Amino acid sequence: MKLSTGGDARLAAAEPNPEVSAATSRTATKRRYLMCPPTHFDVVYSINPWMDPSKPVDPRLALLQWQRIRDVFVQLGHTVELIPPVPGLPDMVFAANGATVMDGRALVARFLYDERAAESAAYLDWFAARGYQARQAAWTNEGEGDFLVAGGWLLAGSGFRSDRRSHAESEEFFGRPVIGLTLVNDNYYHLDTALAVLDEQTVMYYPAAFAPGSQETLRALFPDAIIATDEDARAFGLNAVSDGRHVILPAGATSLTAQLRERGYEPMDVEVSELLRAGGGVKCCTLELRDPVAAEPVPPPAASGLSVVVTSVASDSHNWNLVYLQLALTELGHRVLNLGPCVPDELLVSECLRIRPDLVVVSSVNGHGFIDGMPLIGLIRACPELADTPVVIGGKLGIAGPAGRESRNQLRAAGFDAVFEEGSGMAAFLSFTERLTMSVST
């Protein structure tokens, strides 16, 4: 059936579909998927034969095709969670490669290519924030690109991306037996480009993508498998997602579509031409979250807190005072942007203009707090937008011990709302912040 009628599909539709003439009736089960919008999608490098950076990409079309896939899942009653896309990571749309997830445990990918390496951090953070027992794989492991759950097994591909040693690691991590399969055709560089799991007992695959020994394994394990033709494979038809009944797959895999229908599945094709320019299809965009772990992330602290910028002066390279201030302020429910040490004056001003904080905290302990703080507050107060923003300074402000009342008065006269010298400074600062919080919230 075509997408346009996707809205009619129902979950667990036990009644026979009139379009299907098969003896077997298939049952869909409710799924939870993780997807990543192709906001930064592009082809700027080539790490598989499908990618040609010299040909322009249509990002709008890619986004439309991706939205179609998501809409189909939602219409089928499945839950789709989104992970925020990260600028500079054009392949992050292929969420399936980010991890393998089962029983509340997430084994996050370790990508083969540097170009994708930074995606792992985003996935680790996402899973950790939601209470998964998550860690990054020790060996190269491209998540559901190469690891597919079929019945009690974990089918695991290697040959191009995931390291064979990641198979043993996954077996240990998930406590499920791993069936290793060797890929031999670089057009089908991930297991999920050559094989799709349809339900607990059934898979479809393209034999020529596998080494002879692996073909034999697949024949023995899945004697009833649906076999893809060359044309099906070229159309990326095996990069498909099944809920046990509905099989969403790239358009153009005509033999697969017919076989699926014959066997009682409901194939639903979607156009993925633009995504395929990066070597990805339906499955690549979809990571299955195989468990009902707490769906919502831990809520951020009460919105009643202040938005605080923590910074140092340009010549001060100390960190720990800033790490501590951030922790202390966060624990009190404030939201902190920590600019770190050695912040140029202009950067501090532009960040303040961008986020319009409720409070700016300048902490300096290298003895230059006074001589750097004076011109800095001048620059801040010169911006009309920041004329009334509370700005305080504290720490070790002079090189010969406490700066003295004269220096403190000069700093206040120049525009700082308060000056906290080392010693009792922290308690006074926290009390200042508390008063400010109350005045902002009333």
Partner 1 sequence: MNASVGLARSFGGFVARAHRVGDLVIQPRMGMSSPRTMRAGLLATKRAIATTVGTITLDSYTRMGDHDRARAAVASGVELNGYPIVAHDVSTTRDVLDGVVGLDFPVQIRHGSPCPEDIFGALIGAGLHATEGGPVSYCLPYSRAPLDASIRSWVRSCELLAGLAETGVEPHLETFGGCMMGQLCPPGLLIAMSVLECLFFRQHGLRSVSLSYAQQTSPEQDAEAVLALRRLAAEWLPDVDSHVVIYAYMGVYPRTNGGATRLLSDAARLAVKTGAARLIVKTIAEAYRIPSIADNVGALEAAAAAAAAERCAPTAHGADDTGIYAEASALIEAVVNLRPDIGRALADAFRSGYLDVPYCLHPDNARRTRSYVDGTGRLQWSGIGSMPIRQVVRPTGSGELTSDELLASLSYVERKYDNASLEEYLAAPVQAAVAR
Write out the catalytic residue numbers: 190, 284
Residues 343 to 362 in contact with partner 1, rule: CB under 8 A:
343-344, 347
What is the sign of the dihedral through the CA atoms of 122, 29, 206 and 262? negative
| Residue in 65, 97, 100, 120 binding partner 1, rule: CB under 8 A | 120
Classify residue 2 by burial, with Cβ atoms within 10 Å: 0-12, 13-18, 19+: exposed
Hey, what amino acid is at 164? R
Q: Which is nearer to partner 1, 96 or 314 (CB)?
A: 314
In order of 123, 140, 397, the CA distances from 173 in angstroms are: 17, 15, 52
Contact pattern from residue 166 through residue 185 relative to partner 1, giving x for each residue in contact according to CB under 8 A and a dash for the rest: --------------------
Q: Which is nearer to partner 1, 138 or 258 (CB)?
A: 138
Is residue 141 a contact residue for partner 1 (CB under 8 A)? no
| Residue in 72, 154, 314, 393 binding partner 1, rule: CB under 8 A | 314
Is residue 431 a contact residue for partner 1 (CB under 8 A)? no
Instruction: Of 351, 393, 395, 353, give the one whose Cα is nearest residue 373.
Output: 393
Q: Which tokens in the block code for residue 25?
A: 């009736």
Instruction: Of 156, 165, 163, 251, give the one whose Cα is nearest residue 194.
Output: 156
- Cα separation, 84 vs 233, whole angstroms: 31
Q: Which is nearer to partner 1, 278 or 361 (CB)?
A: 361
Is residue 250 a contact residue for partner 1 (CB under 8 A)? no
Q: Which is nearer to partner 1, 49 or 401 (CB)?
A: 401
Is residue 334 a contact residue for partner 1 (CB under 8 A)? no
**Piece in contact with partner 1 (CB under 8 A), picked from 16-24, 77-85, 222-230, 309-317:** 309-317
Q: Which is nearer to partner 1, 207 or 402 (CB)?
A: 402
**Piece in contact with partner 1 (CB under 8 A), picked from 110-118, 234-242, 254-262, 288-296:** 110-118
What minimum distance in Å lies between the beta carbon of 342 and partner 1? 5
Is residue 311 a contact residue for partner 1 (CB under 8 A)? no
Is residue 5 a contact residue for partner 1 (CB under 8 A)? no
What minimum distance in Å lies between the beta carbon of 395 and partner 1? 6
Contact pattern from residue 369 through residue 408 relative to partner 1, giving x for each residue in contact according to CB under 8 A and a dash for the rest: --x----------------------xxx--xxx-------
Q: Which tokens in the block code for residue 400?
A: 């010969």
**Residue pointed to by tokens 């089962």:** 102
Q: Which tokens in the block code for residue 150?
A: 């079929």
Is residue 318 a contact residue for partner 1 (CB under 8 A)? yes
| Residue in 15, 19, 224, 331 binding partner 1, rule: CB under 8 A | 331
What minimum distance in Å lies between the beta carbon of 81 and partner 1? 21
To the nearest 10°, report the CA torsion of 180, 186, 188, 192.
40
Is residue 294 a contact residue for partner 1 (CB under 8 A)? no
Size of the site for partner 1 (CB under 8 A): 52
Q: Which tokens in the block code for residue 173?
A: 């991590």
- Cα separation, 96 vs 34, whole angstroms: 8
What phi and psi values does residue 62 have, to the nearest 5 degrees?
Answer: -60, -40
What minimum distance in Å lies between the beta carbon of 235 and partner 1? 34
| Residue in 367, 369, 373, 390 binding partner 1, rule: CB under 8 A | 367
| Residue in 14, 138, 383, 387 binding partner 1, rule: CB under 8 A | 138
What minimum distance in Å lies between the beta carbon of 151 and partner 1? 29
| Residue in 3, 13, 168, 426 binding partner 1, rule: CB under 8 A | 426
| Residue in 203, 365, 391, 403 binding partner 1, rule: CB under 8 A | 365
Is residue 212 a contact residue for partner 1 (CB under 8 A)? no
Contacting residues toward partner 1, per CB under 8 A:
110, 114, 117-118, 120-121, 124-125, 135-136, 138, 314-325, 327-328, 331, 338-344, 347, 363, 365-368, 371, 394-396, 399-401, 422-427
